[in-house]
Structure formats: C-alpha cells, structure tokens
Amino acid sequence: MNTPSPELKKVVAEADDFLPLLGTDHIELYCGNAKQSAYYYMAAWGFQPLAFCGLETGVRDRVSYVLRQDKITLVLTSPLVADGPINDHINRHGDGVKAIALWVDDAKKSWEETTSRGAVSVLEPTKRSDEAGNVVLSGIKTYGDTVHTFVERKNYDGIFMPGYQPWSPVHVSEPLGLQFVDHMVGNVGWGEMNTWTEFYARVMGFAQLISFDDKDISTEYTALMSKVMSNGNGRIKFPINEPAKGRKKSQIEEYIDFYQGAGVQHIALATSNIIETVTALRDRGIEFLKVPSSYYDTVLDRVGSIDEDLAPLRDLGILIDRDEEGYLLQIFTKPVVDRPTMFFEIIQRKGAKSFGKGNFKALFEAIEREQESRGTL
Ligand code: FE2
C-alpha cells in the first residue's frame, strides 16, 4: 500500500469510520444468460472460474457463476424461472450490476450502523454455514435498484461462500493482469447527486474526495457533474455522476434513459501494466473508446515526461493525466452490454490519486461520437 496522500489523510480524518470496509468483496451482475456471460468474462477478460450454484447444487430459481482475477470477483446471476425479482431487474435494466458487495469484519454491525442512520434494509444479517465454516451476509439499498451487500467471511475458508461448489469448466484462459477494483461509478438522475453523496456521507461514513461541476465536465454540446466519495481507508471510492444541461443530451441522461434509472455506470479495474493488459483485451475483441490521434500531439506538454513510450499508448488509445502526486494511464471500453449503459475502465496509477480530469473533454467528445451513432445525442 502506498503512503496515503495528504488529501486522503484529510478524508480519513473526516470520515467517521463506524463502517470499516476491508475492500470490495465481489460484484454481482444480473444478466440474461449467465453461462454465456461467464464465457465472455473468462475468454475476453481473463477471469478464472471459481464457483457455481444452480440446479446441481439444489438452487431451483437461479444460477450463479463466480469468476475471479487476482482480487476481483464477479458473480454472474440469471433466473431459472419465468417470474421473479431477477427477471424484473433484467427486464427493466438489461444486464447490469445488482450488488456491490463490501468485505467487512462484522456484517451484523455494518447493517445496524447503516440502517440506524437511515439505510433501507434488503437483507437482515443472515448466517450461512457449511463444512468450511460460515459467512454472515446483510444488505442495504443504494441508488436505483442497486444494493450493497456486507460480507463477513472471517470464519470461512471455503472457495466462495456456503451454497456454492467449485466450478471447473473445460475452457480456461490466461489472466490479463487485472488486479483489483479501483473505483465504481454510479449514475443518478437529475437533481439526485447530492442525495446520494449525502447518503454515502451520513449512512456509510464516507467523505467527499473531489467535486466536478458542469464547467469542469462539459464539451461544446454535453455536460455532467460528479462528486467522488471515499470510505475512511480509501479502499472504496464511489464517484457519483448526475447529468447537466448542455446543448445536447448528456451521456448520463442517455444511461438513465436506457437503464431506466440510476445504476452502476462503470467499473474501473486496476492493472500494473496497462499496455500489456489492453493489448491482450484488444486481441480478444474488447472495443475501446478512441480519442483523435491529435490528442497525443500535445499530451506530453500537458502531463510532462512519463516512463512509457508514447507509441504504444497512441496505438492502443490509452489516455494520460497528471495530478500533484503523479500520473495515471486509463482507457474506457465501449458499453459491454446491449444497452448503452455499463462499461469498464482500465487504469494504471503511477502515483496519481485522481480520476483523469484532464482527459474528460477528449473522452466526452469521443462518447458524443458514439451517442451520435446511436441517435441519442
Ligand atoms: Fe472512472
């Protein structure tokens, strides 16, 4: 772990850590065909198969595949029945993130601390046991139909959690160097950003790291606003975006239209070698947003010298930004689901703790070109 920056230290001091979070436990996506999504995340993204639950494990209404790459765990869930909450979620939102599960030491206390501060419960503390021990789960609502699950696994040494069995499909691909969840961004509706940043502050003890208004994040045509919320130890960072008025439709509004409400916009995954990781992803068919090659004509004037050669960054379309503490390299995929909703960011931090503000304009112009092609600008 790097030494905390002065800014982060301030956040830690401000954050009232009644809810110590150890990290992101897993991300659960509800999807139309979990078996095929699992193949996609394994074959294209280098995730490794870990565990499974479904008919063969006595679960009758759903199937879940658990995939892992280093510290990133994805759970892909589809319904096995015609009607139910998973079906409703997919019908309304398309494929998307249902649960951002947070790893805690005490799931009961996490639930009590948050619900007593106004969180709406979706799961009272529940212990699940098998021969490998027990896991305690609890859950609360956040924006839209998204939830936070608290996962306490200190008394468990099985592969994932009780109810799952190991899954070893024939096909296994190589990991691509994705290491951990750097941050996860939520899109919320008009006028709702402060509601949700206040939720993270009041209910979960987070502090605000950065704020961008529509003057920071706008192009000639479109705009958005954003605030970054961080928990006390800085391991969990949730930027929250709200659309802002521009001459044309904000990318956040496009998301809200197609997702039918607030939800997770992007998941940023960290790598220690973005050139290798993105090269491998591209070779496996992952499509990334492209900025004009003129971006690279002046980028080093803006960010100063960097360790990497510019040529592979330019070839892959990787963006560069610098703050007081260092620089970062980042790239964004096109939406990875049918609707123009969820996408991924790949990020390599070389000291920088920020989120790429210097790239916003070039990036949003690239997104506008995509919106234009979808008829949603
Ligand atoms: Fe991001």
Instruction: Express each pLDDT in 263-296 by its tens digit.
Output: 999 999 999 999 999 999 999 999 999 888 889 9
Q: How far is CA 309 from CA 193, 313, 351, in A?
A: 39, 7, 18
CATH of domain 178-374: 3.10.180.10
| pLDDT at residue number 96 | 98
CB 363 within 8 A of CB 355: no
Sequence-distant (≥ 6) Cβ neighbours of residue 211 within 8 angstroms: 226, 227, 228
Whole-number Å distance, alpha carbon 239 to ligand 1 midpoint, is: 8
Tokens (6 digits) for 369:
């070109």
Q: Do domains 8-166 and 178-374 have the same CATH topology?
A: yes
Nearest of 80, 123, 86, 102 to residue 27 by alpha carbon: 102
Whole-number Å distance, alpha carbon 269 to ligand 1 midpoint, is: 9
Nearest of 236, 186, 194, 234 to residue 213 by alpha carbon: 194
Whole-number Å distance, alpha carbon 228 to ligand 1 midpoint, is: 10
Q: Which residue has the tokens 């969820």?
A: 342
Q: Which residue has the tokens 């096909």?
A: 171
Whole-number Å distance, alpha carbon 81 to ligand 1 midpoint, is: 35
pLDDT digits (tens, 9 = 90+) for 226-247: 999 999 899 999 999 999 888 8
Whole-number Å distance, alpha carbon 164 to ligand 1 midpoint, is: 32
Nearest of 239, 270, 271, 254 to residue 360 by alpha carbon: 239
What's the pTM?
Answer: 0.94
| pLDDT at residue number 154 | 97
User: Residue 143: what are its φ and ψ, rounded to 5°?
Assistant: -60, 145
Sequence-distant (≥ 6) Cβ neighbours of residue 151 within 8 angstroms: 25, 26, 101, 102, 103, 104, 107, 135, 136, 137, 161
| pLDDT at residue number 116 | 97
Sequence-distant (≥ 6) Cβ neighbours of residue 215 within 8 angstroms: none
Whole-number Å distance, alpha carbon 268 to ligand 1 midpoint, is: 6
User: Residue 340: what are its φ and ψ, rounded to 5°?
Assistant: -75, 70
What is the number of helices (H) and of strands (E) in the chain?
10, 17
| pLDDT at residue number 219 | 83
Whole-number Å distance, alpha carbon 184 to ligand 1 midpoint, is: 7
Superfamily for domain range 8-166: 2,3-Dihydroxybiphenyl 1,2-Dioxygenase, domain 1 (3.10.180.10)
Whole-number Å distance, alpha carbon 279 to ligand 1 midpoint, is: 20
| Per-residue burial over 15-30, b = 16 or more CB atoms within 10 Å of its CB, e = otherwise | beeebbbbebbbbbbb
| pLDDT at residue number 220 | 80
- The stretches in the chain having pLDDT less than 70 are 1-16
User: Residue 311: what are its φ and ψ, rounded to 5°?
Assistant: -55, -50
Q: How many angstroms separate the CA atoms of 30 and 32, rounded? A: 7
Containing H/E element for 119?
A: none
Residue type, 52: F
Residue type, 234: G
In the chain, where are the structural domains located? 8-166, 178-374
